[in-house]
Amino acid sequence: MTTSPPIPALVCDHCGQSCLDTRVEALDRLFCCHGCRTVFEILQDNGLTHYYRLEDRPGIRLDNAEEHASRFSYLDDETLQAQLLDFSNGVTATITLRLPQIHCASCVWLLENLRRLEPAVAHSEVDFLRRELAVTYQVDSLSLRRLVERLASIGYEPEITLDATTPKTGFTQDPLLRKIGIAGFCFGNAMLFSLPEYFADPGELNTSWQRLFSGLNLVLALPVLLYSSTDYLRGALRSLSQATTTIDVPIALGIVALFSRSLYEIVSGAGPGYMDSFTGLVFFLLLGKLFQRNSFSALSFERDYRSYFPLAVNVRDGHEEVSVPVSALEPGQRIIARHGELIPADCRLLSTHALLDFSYVTGESDPVEASRGDQVWAGGRVVSGAIELVVLRDVSQSYLTRLWNQDLFHGPATDDLSLLANRFSRWFTAAVVSIAVLTALYWLQADPTIAIHAATSVLIIACPCALALSTPFTTGAAMNLLARVGLYLREGSVVEKLAGISTIVFDKTGTLTSTHHSDVVFAGTDGDLTAAQKLGLAALLSNSVHPLSRKLLDQLPAATSPEVAEYLEAPGLGISGRIDKTSWCVGSRQWLIQNGVPLERIVAGTGSEQLHADDQDPTGATVHIAANSIHLGMYRLGHAYRGGLSQLMAQLRRRYQLMLLSGDNDRERQRLLPLMGDSTQMHFSQSPEQKLATVQRLEQSQSVMMVGDGLNDAGALRGSSVGIAVSEQIAAFSPACDGILDADAIHRLPAILHFARLCLGIVIASFILSLAYNIIGLSFAVRGNLSPLLSAVLMPLSSVSVIAFTAIATRGAARWTGLRP
Amino acid sequence: MSALYMLIGCSITVALIFLAAFLWALRSEQYRDTHTPAMRMLFEEESAHDNSHPRDSGEENNT
Question: Which residues from A are below 8 Å from B27, CB to CB?
Answer: 172
User: For A380, which DSSP code?
Assistant: -
Neighbour tally for A308: CB within 10 Å: 23
Question: Mutate which of B49, B53, B62 to disrupt the A interface (most A C-beta within 10 Å)?
Answer: B53
Rounded CA-CA distance A478/A758 in Å is: 10
Is B55–A47 a contact, with Cβ atoms under 8 angstroms apart?
Answer: yes
What φ, ψ does residue A526 adopt, rounded to 5°? -145, 60
Q: What local confidence, expressed as pLDDT, does residue B57 receive? A: 39
pTM: 0.76
R_g of chain B computed on alpha carbons:
23
Q: Shortest Cα distance from A414 to chain B (angstroms)?
A: 28
Rounded CA-CA distance A680/A678 in Å is: 6
Residue A521 parent element (H or E): strand A513-524
Is B60–A128 a contact, with Cβ atoms under 8 angstroms apart?
Answer: no
pLDDT tens, A598-640?
777 665 444 434 444 444 444 446 788 888 888 888 887 776 7
CB neighbour list of residue A268: distance below 8 Å, 6 or more residues apart = none
Residues of chain A short of pLDDT 70, as ranges, are 1-9, 19-23, 27, 62-70, 164-174, 294-299, 302, 360-366, 406-418, 515-518, 545, 547, 558-562, 571-572, 601-621, 639, 730-733
Using CB atoms within 10 Å of the CB of residue A611, give its burial: 0 to 12 exposed, 13 to 18 middle, 19+ buried.
buried
Rounded CA-CA distance A398/A405 in Å is: 10
Q: Which residue of B lies nearest to A104 if distances are taken between CA atoms?
A: B39
Q: Is A176 on the interface with B (CB under 8 A)?
A: no
- Asked whether the CA dihedral A569, A575, A576, A578 is positive or negative, the reply is positive
**8 A C-beta contact, residue A513 and residue A773:** no
**DSSP of A247-264, one letter per residue?**
THHHHHHHHHHHHHHHHH
Closest CA to A505 of A367, A694, A767: A694
Domain range annotation of chain A: 8-66, 73-172, 176-294+420-473+758-816, 485-514+642-754, 516-641
Is B29–A172 a contact, with Cβ atoms under 8 angstroms apart?
Answer: yes
Question: Mutate which of B29, B40, B47, B62 to disrupt the A interface (most A C-beta within 10 Å)?
Answer: B40
Question: Which residues from A are below 8 Å from B31, CB to CB?
Answer: 171, 177
Domain range annotation of chain B: 3-47
Rounded CA-CA distance A409/A411 in Å is: 6
**8 A C-beta contact, residue A73 and residue A323:** yes
Q: What local confidence, expressed as pLDDT, does residue A456 receive? A: 85
Question: Which residues from B are below 8 Å from A44, CB to CB?
Answer: 53
Which of B8, B23, B32 lies nearest to residue A171, judging by beta carbons? B32
Q: What is the CATH topology of the domain spanning A516-641?
A: Calcium-transporting ATPase, cytoplasmic domain N (3.40.1110)
Q: Which residue of B lies nearest to A121 if distances are taken between CA atoms?
A: B63
Strand partners, A317: A320
Rounded CA-CA distance A715/A457 in Å is: 49
Angle at A423 between CA A413 and CA A174, to 5 degrees: 35
Strand partners, A133: A97, A126
What φ, ψ does residue A555 adopt, rounded to 5°? -90, -15
Question: Mutate which of B42, B56, B61 to disrupt the A interface (most A C-beta within 10 Å)?
Answer: B56
The answer on pLDDT for B16 being more than 90 is yes
Confidence of residue B51 (pLDDT cuts 50, 70, 90): very low
Rounded CA-CA distance A64/A58 in Å is: 18
Rounded CA-CA distance A212/B13 in Å is: 16
Is B11–A192 a contact, with Cβ atoms under 8 angstroms apart?
Answer: yes
Which of A50, A108, A177 lies nearest to residue B56, judging by beta carbons? A50
Using CB atoms within 10 Å of the CB of residue B5, give its burial: 0 to 12 exposed, 13 to 18 middle, 19+ buried.
exposed
Q: Shortest Cα distance from A13 to chain B (angstroms)?
A: 16
Question: Which residues from B are below 8 Å from A43, CB to CB?
Answer: none
Rounded CA-CA distance A564/A580 in Å is: 8
Q: What is the 3-state secondary structure (H, E, C) of A622-648?
A: EEEEEECCEEEEEEEEEEEECCCHHHH
The answer on pLDDT for B42 being more than 90 is no
Is B8–A47 a contact, with Cβ atoms under 8 angstroms apart?
Answer: no
Q: What is the CATH topology of the domain spanning A485-514+642-754?
A: Rossmann fold (3.40.50)
A 84-123 residues inside an 8 A Cβ radius of B: 105, 108-109, 112, 115-116, 119
- 3-state DSSP helix/strand/coil % of chain B, to nearest 5: 75, 0, 25
CATH number, domain A73-172, options 3.40.1800.10, 2.60.40.10, 3.30.70.100, 3.40.50.1980: 3.30.70.100
pLDDT tens, A345-365?
888 888 888 888 877 666 566
Is B39–A108 a contact, with Cβ atoms under 8 angstroms apart?
Answer: yes
Q: How many CB pairs under 8 A join A and B?
A: 71
Rounded CA-CA distance A742/A155 in Å is: 25
Question: Which residues from A are below 8 Å from B33, CB to CB?
Answer: 127-130
